[in-house]
Amino acid sequence: MGSGVKSQALSNAGTGQQMSSDLYGQANSAYGTLSPQLNAEITNPTGYTPAQKAAQNTAAQQSTGGSMSGAVGQGALQSARTRNAGGSQAAIAQSARTAGQNLSNAALQTETNNANLQQQQRQAGLQGLQSLYGTTLGGSENALGLSNQALSTANQAKPSFWQQLGSQAAGAALSGAMGAV
Q: pLDDT > 90: what percent of the chain? A: 0
pLDDT digits (tens, 9 = 90+) for 63-117: 887 777 777 777 777 777 888 777 778 777 777 788 888 888 888 898 889 888 9
| Phi, psi at 144, each rounded to 5° | -65, -35
pTM, rounded to two decimals: 0.48
More confident residue, 181 or 139: 139
Whether the Cβ atoms of residue 83 and residue 30 lie closer than 8 Å to each other: no
- Residues in CB range of 55: below 8 A, 6 or more apart: none
Average pLDDT, the chain: 77
- Each domain of the chain, given as residue ranges in start order, spans 3-158
Q: How far apart are alpha carbons 122 and 130 in whole angstroms?
A: 12
- Residues in CB range of 9: below 8 A, 6 or more apart: 150, 151, 153, 154, 157
| pLDDT tops 50 at residue 1 | no
Rounded to 5°, angle at Cα 98 from 115 and 112: 5
